[in-house]
Amino acid sequence: MLMRVFPLFILLIGLAISWSLEQARQAAAITTSPIVELHQLPALKIGDWVFRQGTSVESELIANIGQSRFSHIGVVTAIEPEVIITHATTNDDPNYSNQVINSRLIDFSSNQLARRIAIARPQFLSTEQQQRISQHITAKISQPFVLSQRQHPHLYCTTLIADAITEQQPDFSLPWLNLEQAIFRGEYLHPQAFAERTDIEWLYPPTNSSTE
């Protein structure tokens, strides 16, 4: 009797393992899928701003403190052979944590990292300025992420972009948010400051995403 039951037992274990592996494979596929159909996006250009509301507790905290729909922002620095976003981040890529990195748009907008994204084009910058801003930003790749108040050395997602723009347009300015929180004190620059500018064109969604 035992000899007859044993092969059946092995078969059931094998089926259970196969089912578990398939579930894990499907979960991984879901985790890495983009939250938007990238082929449906308008043609992007170097210098476009890509906003993101992240999925982490940290992202929710940043958005709530800044009263923003977004917790993160990056810049398009390449469009061929695929769209590349350069941004200062803590944990988008575990192999390159706490630094300025390049991310493919498909990864930047994966539902592992993003609840929503929006894309805007600054209308106040020329194509030549956008190219130089892109070069300035990509030159910062691998430099460490530094979240600190305005008066101290800093390099995080918004200041990476703001500093690059200011080099090309010295009168460029954004409102900094003065915080008196337990973990944040002083002035910080939030993505909402970029989203509220009136001299940008919203490409995706094609509406004013700063208020929706």
- pLDDT of 110 strictly over 50: yes
- Residue 9, both tokens: 């037992």
Q: Which two tokens stand for residue 184?
A: 């944040």
Tell me what pLDDT residue 14 has: 39
pLDDT score of 207 more than 80: no
For residue range 65-83, list pLDDT tens digits in order.
777 889 999 999 999 999 9
With a CB cutoff of 8 Å and minimum separation 6, the contacts of 47 are 75, 76, 121, 122, 125, 127, 129, 130, 131, 133, 134
Q: Is the pTM of this model over 0.85?
A: no
Counting every residue, how long is the chain?
A: 212
State percent of the chain over pLDDT 90.
66
CA 67 from chain centre, in angstroms, equals: 17
CATH superfamily of 38-204: endopeptidase domain like (from Nostoc punctiforme) (3.90.1720.10)
d(CA 102, CA 89): 10
Contact indicator for 84, 58 with CB cutoff of 8 Å: no
What is the 3-state secondary structure of 42-100? CCCCCCCEEEEEECCHHHHHHHHHCCCCCCEEEEEEECCCCCEEEEEECCCCHHHCCEE
Tokens for 103, please give them.
């991310």
* Planar angle of CA 34, 71, 123, nearest 5 degrees: 85
Percent of the chain with pLDDT over 70: 81
Residue 202 has pLDDT above 50, yes or no: yes
**pLDDT band of 192, cuts 50, 70, 90:** very high
pLDDT tens digit sequence for 122-172: 999 999 999 999 999 999 999 999 999 999 999 999 999 999 999 999 999
Q: How confident is the model at residue 58 (pLDDT cuts 50, 70, 90)?
A: confident
Residue 49 CA to residue 119 CA, distance in Å, equals 6
* Pair of tokens at residue 89: 């981040």
Give the model's pLDDT for residue 208. 54
* pLDDT tier, 3 (very low <50, low <70, confident <90, very high otherwise): very low
Question: Tokens 């940043």, residue?
Answer: 62
Delimit the domains of the chain by residue range: 1-31, 38-204
